Amino acid sequence: MEIRKARPEDLGTIMPIYENARKFMRDTGNKNQWINGYPSHELIQKDIASGHCFVGEEDGCIKLAFAFIIGADPTYTLIEDGAWLNDEPYGTIHRIAGDHSVKGALGMCIDYCAALTDNLRVDTHADNKIMQKLMERYGFTYCGIIYAVNGTPRLAYQKKIR
C-alpha cells in the first residue's frame, strides 16, 4: 500500500470509507463514537487543505484514510488517571478508517507516521474495544484519559519508537 497526502479530488472516495467505518463501529458495539456524521465532509476538507489528511492506495484505489498532525494537540494537554510516557514532541493519529479490504492497514499507517516522528499518540472511545486491542498489539501504551473537543472522554495511548 502506498500512503500519500490526500488531494481535494479524493474527498468523494474518502467520505464513504468514513461512512462504512461508522457502520462498522455500530455493528461491533461502539455506538457512541463518531456520532452525528463525524467526521464531517467539512472537517475532512479542512484536513486535506491543511495537509493533515492521508490516504492509503492499493492498485490505484483508496483503501485507508487518516489524519496525522505533528505538533502539540490541545486536547492532549490535560490527561487524567495517568500520564504521558514523555513530554517530547509528538505526532497524533486521528480519524483512521479503512475499507477492511487490506489486512494490516493500521500497521502500515503507524509505520508511515513513525517514519515522520518517533513519538506517536492516539486516542479512542472506551466503547471501541477493537481499536484498544489494536493499539496494544502495535506497541502503544495506555496512558490515561483525555477529553475530545466536544468534551467526551477518550482513552489515550502513546508509543515511543526509538
| Cell numbers at 146, concatenated | 483525555
pLDDT at 162 over 90: no
The average confidence (pLDDT) of the chain is: 96
Give 82-99 pLDDT, tens digit per residue.
Answer: 999 999 999 999 999 999
Give 25-39 pLDDT, tens digit per residue.
Answer: 999 999 989 998 999
CA distance 55 to 50: 14
DSSP character string of 26-41: HHTT--SSS-TTPSPH
CATH number of the domain bearing residue 115? 3.40.630.30
pLDDT for 100 equals 86
pTM of the predicted structure, to 2 decimals: 0.95
Residue 71: which of 52, 48, 85, 53 has the closest Cα?
Answer: 52
Domain extent at residue 122: 2-160
- Residue given cell 490541545 in the structure block: 74
Instruction: Compute the average pLDDT of residues 60-64.
Output: 96
pLDDT for 23 equals 95
Q: How confident is the model at residue 103 (pLDDT cuts 50, 70, 90)?
A: confident
Total structural domains within the chain: 1
Instruction: Give bridge partners of residue 154 from the DSSP assignment.
Output: 146
pLDDT for 91 equals 98
Instruction: Give bridge partners of residue 146 from the DSSP assignment.
Output: 154
Q: How confident is the model at residue 7 (pLDDT cuts 50, 70, 90)?
A: very high
Mapping DSSP onto H, E and C, the string for 39-62 reads CCHHHHHHHHHCCCEEEEEECCEE
